[in-house]
Amino acid sequence: MTDALALHGLVKIYGDKRAVDGISFAAPTGKITGVLGPNGAGKSTTIRTIVGILTPDEGRVDMFGAPLSRESLRRVGYLPEERGVYRSMTPRAFITYLARLKGVKAADARARADQLLAAQGLSAYARKRIKTLSKGMAQKVQLAAAIAHEPDLVVLDEPFSGLDPVNQRGVESLVRDLAASGRTVIFSTHVMEHAERLCDRIVLIANGKKAFEGTVAEALAVVPASATIETEGAFDLAAALAPHGFRTESGGEAHGHRKWRVALDGPDASRRLLAACASANAPLALYEPARATLHDAFVRIVGEGVIGDME
Amino acid sequence: MQQIYLIARREYLAYVGAWGFWLSLLTAPLLLALFAVGPLLAGRAEPTRALAVIADNPRDAEAIAAAFAARGADALPKYVLVEPPARTAEAIALWLTGAKTVTIEGEARPLFAALFVRNAGDTASIDYWSVNLTDRSPSDLAVSAIAGRQRADALAARGLDAAETARIEALEPRLAQYDPRAQTGQAVTSRDRAPYIVGMVLAFVLWSAVMGVANMLLTGVIEEKSNKILDSLLTSASPLQILIGKLMGVAAVSFTLFGVWALLGGSTLSLFGGGQSGFGAEVASAALDPGLLGAFLLMFLGGYLIYGALFLALGSLCDTLQESQSLLGPVFFVLTLPILLVGPAFQNPSAPLIVGASWFPLFTPFVMMMRAPSGLSFADFAGPMVLLAVTVAVVLVLAARVFHAGVVNQASAASFRRRLFAKKSG
């Protein structure tokens, strides 16, 4: 199946800064792709170039198998990073207006607005001015407006920012529903947990360049899993595990226990480690296997200094 | 086209639904009405002025009294001659400065002026005392009255009786003004002058409208920038479509304003214009002249597109109104200049200054509106209009570029200034 979106060597230059520096990646149709990176990495510039707001200095964007065009943009729903609504309009009128701009007929747009507002629990506010709504509600209205025309590709720039945990879960659920209905979703975030929970594929951007592209599992594979072990007394776990092929690092001592960190390579590494500990009669006080996180993976990929404010 | 229509429609409904629209709707007619009736109301509101005449010759006092009486009861400001409370300038100063008062119409008031008329043989002199240094009408009237009395005395000394003197004094040529361009050969009447007044009023309306709607566009685009709404629009419409949609929407707002103003103006003229005759009716007839109305709409279109596009483009570079002020200062200055030409253009629409100004595209709409009633030749009309059309096209193209850069945040007021500065120094 054709990728819904493909970026080819995208470059965007501001003054003497290459905000986006040769980024290429693809978003498979019907999948959720996360564009991750710290603030200032170039995510929003990439997203704004994808939706045609910015023109790339080099490279190109292909959408639905053809170069980006005004026609293909009609099939795109976009939630900008900087939220904006006409505060004096009603939610119903605002959603209808944006849907009509995308080519939806007036009656259909109104019906769709009512349906989306009901789904968001905002029916009671449909005819009140947006300026009377809370910030969270206004964000929901904007998200509804972005998908009111039932787009094939949904591009969300930092959709979780500014939302409380309950509403964040609501957006996560919406993203899953969109993908389940066959739509392609791309969203940018600097919060790894969302990406880890939602994404089929992820793209890491740092300093305007693509640092990684692949599945979450592929990203996690960059950092091996590990186990944290505490042993009683002066037992030397590193020496005991070395014959079994385990790499063990000492983590110091505390409260009469020695701490160890053991790398777990392979699918049954945790079981083999426990067996090795048992055969060496290791006096275990604590055994805690730890799965690598995306954050760990990205620290490994781009370095602690670059990862910045990513959560 | 659908995008342009939807953007224009939203703009229109947003403005018409705002209280600022209704304020604009009422402001211009109120201002015009104020200009028209303001001086009259001010004159009526002023209390009757007290004058004292101290004359060596009683006939001088009588002549001055007759001259003031001849002004008519409705003439403004009103004057009343009172018995002089003192006979010397030093003494009467107390009444002139308000330290002492005279009683007029049951109220104590200071003396407005005192006229000391002295005679020495054939010559007479008038010393005019008043704390008001600008209004010379009482002294001018006194001079005219005394001059009449002197001429009458001189003629009487040469044997002419009073009736003959009055007949000679009344001699005056009949004046009839003709326009060589008029085919009827009839003398010029107020009906012929009415279009010039209408032209001047329409130029003022045009100026107010352009100023008002350009401001609407400016505040609208700045609000959208600060609301961060433009990114959502830009995935559905191109910057040029947004620019044109906004211009069309606000143009529709303007035409609504004009419609309401025309309705108000028409009703007022029919109420106070004296029915089928009189100057009001002539002005109303001139205002409904299709040629003049057509010229107005054409000039509005030109002026609106230039200034509207300019304000939209500059507004797109700014995030706040304060930021826009520094960029728009020069534009406001240029926009103010044509209003200074209204007076000279009314006096002489063919003066070199006015003709020259009509060729400057930023002034063309306003100045041509003032010149339109004077019967322009084809070259006089077509030349500035072609230049205006070219300028409109150039401004629209440039404004669309700036607007594009501004709305996608690739240019700002600061970067625009830097670029201008770099060009100037380069």
**Do B22 and B136 belong to one domain?**
no
What is the mean predicted confidence (pLDDT) over A127-154? 90
* A10 CB-near residues (< 8 Å, 6+ apart): A20, A22, A23, A24, A46, A49, A56, A58, A59, A60, A61
Residue of B nearest to A105 (CA): B2
pLDDT at B274 over 80: no
Mean pLDDT across chain B, nearest whole number?
83
On whether the CB atoms of residues A148 and A95 are closer than 8 A, the answer is yes
More confident residue, B86 or A264: B86
Whether A180 and A305 share a structural domain: yes
Q: Are residues A108 and A119 in the same domain?
A: yes
CA distance A167 to chain B (A): 21
How far is Cα B284 from Cα B422, in angstroms, rounded to an integer?
Answer: 53
**In a shared domain, residues A301 and A272:** no
Pair (A137, A269) in one structural domain: no
Beta-bridge partner residues of A115: none
| Residue A91: per-residue pLDDT | 94
B17 and B120 part of one domain:
no
Neighbours of B51 (CB within 10 A): 22
Q: Please tell me which of the candidates B2, B10, B408 has its beta carbon nearest to residue A53.
A: B408
Residues A219 and A136 in one domain: no
Has this prediction a pTM greater than 0.90?
no
3 state DSSP class of B71: coil
Q: Which residues contact B73 (CB under 8 A, 6 or more apart)?
A: none
Same domain flag for A58 and A116: no
Share of chain B above pLDDT 70, in %: 92
Q: Give the mean model confidence (pLDDT) for residues A253-276.
A: 86
- Looking at the structure, tell me whether residues A240 and A258 fall in a common domain: yes
pLDDT (tens digit, 9 = 90+) per residue, B161-187?
888 888 888 888 888 888 777 777 788
Asked if A142 lies within 8 A of B232 by C-beta distance, the reply is yes
pLDDT at A150: 92
Contact A101 B231 (CB under 8 A): no
Domain shared by B228 and B122, yes or no: no
Question: Is A84 in contact with B230 (CB distance < 8 Å)?
Answer: yes
Q: Does residue B141 carry a pLDDT above 80?
A: yes
Measured CA to CA, the distance from residue A300 to residue A297 in angstroms comes to 5
pLDDT band at A305; cut points 50, 70, 90: low
Let me know whether B303 and B420 are in one domain: yes
Q: Does residue B275 have a pLDDT over 60?
A: no
Between CA B317 and CA B315 the distance in angstroms is 5
pLDDT the model gives residue B271 = 67
* Tokens found for residue A53: 């707001």
Decide if B66 is inside a domain. yes
Residue of higher predicted confidence among B227 and A279: A279
Q: How many domains does chain B have?
A: 2
Q: What is the predicted pLDDT for the residue at B381?
A: 85
Residue B400 counted as domain residue: yes
B82 dihedral zone (left: phi>0; alpha: psi -120 to 50; beta): beta
For residues A173 and A64, membership in a common domain is answered with yes
Which pLDDT does position A76 carry in this prediction?
93
Does residue B196 share a domain with residue B120?
A: no
Looking at residue A28, what is its pLDDT? 92
Q: If interface means Cβ-Cβ distance under 8 Å, which residues of chain B face chain A?
A: 2-3, 6-7, 10, 14, 17-18, 224, 227-238, 408, 410
Q: Counting every residue, how long is chain B?
A: 426
Same domain, A275 and A310: no
Q: pLDDT tier at A121 (50, 70, 90 boundaries)?
A: confident
Q: Are residues A136 and A202 in the same domain?
A: no
Domain boundary among B134, B169, B204: B169
Q: Last residue of some domain: A126, A144, A162?
A: A144
Confirm whether A80 is domain-assigned: no
Q: Domain range for residue B134?
A: 48-169
- Average pLDDT for B91-110: 91
Tokens of B348: 């002489």
The amino acid that residue B6 corresponds to is L
**pLDDT band at B239, cuts 50/70/90?**
confident
Residues A109 and A13 in one domain: no
* A positions 199-228 inside 8 Å of B (CB): none
* Claim to verify: residue B202 and residue B283 sit in the same structural domain: yes
Give buried/exposed letters for B312-339 (b at 16+ CB in 10 A, else e): bbbbbbbeeeebbeebbeebeeebeebe
The answer on B387 and B291 residing in a single domain is yes
Task: Give the CA diameter of chain B.
Answer: 98
For residues A194-209, give the mean pLDDT: 90
Query: Do B219 and B336 reside in the same domain of the chain?
Result: yes
Q: pLDDT band for position B339 (50/70/90)?
A: confident
Predicted confidence at residue B270, as pLDDT, reads: 66
Residues B101 and B212 in one domain: no
Is residue B193 helix, strand or coil?
helix
Inspect the interface and report whether the beta carbons of B231 and A76 lie closer than 8 Å: no
Residue to substitute from B12, B221, B235, B242, interface A, most A β-carbons within 10 A: B235
Q: Is B236 close to A146, i.e. CB distance below 8 A?
A: no
Tell me which residue of B138, B193, B202, B159 sits closest to B367, measured CA to CA: B202
CATH of the domain at A54: 3.40.50.300
Q: Do A216 and A296 touch, CB atoms closer than 8 A?
A: no
User: Looking at residue B416, what is its pLDDT?
Assistant: 66
Q: How far apart are alpha carbons A207 and B220 in whole angstroms?
A: 36
pLDDT tier for residue B391 given thresholds of 50, 70 and 90:
very high
Residue B57 has pLDDT above 60, yes or no: yes
What is residue B390's predicted lDDT score, i.e. its pLDDT?
94
Query: What pLDDT, on a 0 to 100 scale, did the predictor assign at position B410?
Result: 67
User: Residue B424: what pLDDT?
Assistant: 47
The CA angle B15-B21-B26, to the nearest 5 degrees, is: 165
Whether residue B296 is found in the same domain as residue B331:
yes
How confident is the model at residue B4, as a pLDDT?
93
- Mean pLDDT over all residues of chain A? 88
Taking residues B75-89, report their average pLDDT: 90
Whether residue B65 sits in one domain with residue B18 = no
Radius of gyration of chain A (CA): 24
Q: What is the mean pLDDT of residues B327-333?
A: 79
Instruction: State how many domains chain A has.
Output: 3
Sign of torsion over alpha carbons A197, A203, A204, A207 = negative
Say which residue, B38 or A119, is predicted with more confidence. A119
Q: What is the DSSP string of A148-176?
A: TT--SEEEEESTTTT--HHHHHHHHHHHH
Q: Does A72 have pLDDT greater than 70?
A: yes
Residue A32: per-residue pLDDT: 94
Please count the CA atoms within 13 angstroms of the CA of B371 that sit on its side-chain side.
28
Same domain, A140 and A156: no
A38 in a structural domain: yes
Domain of residue A26: give its range: 1-75+152-223+292-311
Q: Which residue has the tokens 């009633």?
A: B373
Examine the domain organization and report whether B124 and B266 are in the same domain: no
How far is residue A178's CA from residue A185's CA, in Å, rounded to a whole number? 7
- Please answer whether residues A219 and A294 qualify as being in contact, where contact means their C-beta atoms are separated by less than 8 angstroms: yes
Is B181 contained in some domain? Answer: no
CB-based contacts of A93-97 (< 8 A; 24+ apart in sequence): A94/A130, A94/A141, A94/A145, A95/A141, A95/A144, A95/A145, A95/A148, A96/A148, A97/B6, A97/B10
- In-domain check, residue A8: yes
Nearest by Cα to A14 from B410, B171, B301:
B410
**pLDDT(B301) > 60:** yes
Task: Show residues of chain A in contact with B228, CB under 8 Å.
Answer: 80, 82-84
Q: What is the mean pLDDT of the segment spanning B317-342?
A: 81
